Amino acid sequence: MGALSFHQGGGEDAHLLELRGNIPSFIHISDGKLHDVHALDLLLPEAGAIYVMDRGYVDFARLYVLHQAGAFFVTRAKSNLDAHRVYSAPTDRATGIIADQTIALDGNATRKDYPDHLRRVRFKDPESGKTLVFLTNQSALPAASVCALYKSRWQVELFFKWIKQHLRIKQFYGTSDNAVKTQIWIAVSVYVLVAIVKKRLALEASLYTLLQIFSVTLFEKMPMPHALSKMTHTFEEQEGGNQLNLFGF
């Protein structure tokens, strides 16, 4: 079963990251007026996949579309959730799981939008002390796995951080819609190509190191294995210990 993470930031881009390889499988770029939840309308649900998203995507009619397609979702519950408990599963509070419940929605509109039961997992983070409430239609996984899936959504943030740090999109060379989209697509394409090379050649060097090597050997007639073996050590020394090693392919 594939685990997929879906997230949009600031109403500017919708992004689907394949957690088995940290390679984007869906990206949509829009203006800042598009509300997060509308990005779900652009998505073709994959049966058996698990979509992990923040509270900006909580729309029960859209979540029910995922459910009917045979897909699963994990998200955060909003504070004004109107629902009642149907059943409580036993939990081990020592793990941080306060409650693992089957619930039914009570709101007139939400009950019609999502007529089936949902699972609500209440988790207290031992590090921050915060209590987080997750909603999912996945009933087979342990409650701790549901919490871990939501935590994995942070990989999307790390993906964008890596792109901004290393692929030169801190500033745009043009301000038109086409110019901005072109630069973003080029950056994402470069990331994916470098990631594919790293994966297929089973390279241990980081994506940052590979990117530096390719940038200086782009127009040289040199076999790739030779270029990598010759220059990897040099660029790894330059990279330093404070660089994030975000993606372990």
Q: How many residues does the chain have?
A: 249
* Predicted confidence (pLDDT) per residue in 212-238, tens digit: 777 766 666 766 666 666 555 555 545
* Shared domain check, 65 and 98: yes
For the beta sheet containing 3-9, the strands, ordered from the edge strand earlier in sequence to the opposite edge, are: 23-29, 13-18, 3-9, 50-52, 72-76, 131-136, 118-124, 97-105, 83-89
* Shared domain check, 199 and 125: no
Q: Give the per-residue pLDDT at 99.
A: 96
In one-letter notation, the amino acid at residue 112 is K
What is the 8-class DSSP label of residue 171? S
- Calculate the alpha carbon distances from 131 to 6, 84, 97 in Å: 22, 19, 10
Higher pLDDT, 22 or 11: 22
* Shared domain check, 171 and 133: no
Average pLDDT (14-28) is 60
* Predicted confidence (pLDDT) per residue in 140-186, tens digit: 999 999 999 898 877 777 766 766 666 665 566 666 777 777 777 77
* Shared domain check, 176 and 149: no
**Domain range for residue 121?**
3-153
Q: Give the per-residue pLDDT at 228.
A: 67
Please tell me the distance from the alpha carbon of residue 107 to that of residue 211, in angstroms, as a whole number: 52
Residue 105 has a CB neighbour count (10 Å cut-off) of 21
Task: Using the predicted structure, report yes or no on whether residue 191 has a pLDDT greater than 90.
Answer: no
Question: 176 lies in a domain?
Answer: yes
* Shared domain check, 187 and 130: no
Q: Give the per-residue pLDDT at 206.
A: 75
Pair 239, 206: CB distance under 8 Å = yes
Question: 216 lies in a domain?
Answer: yes
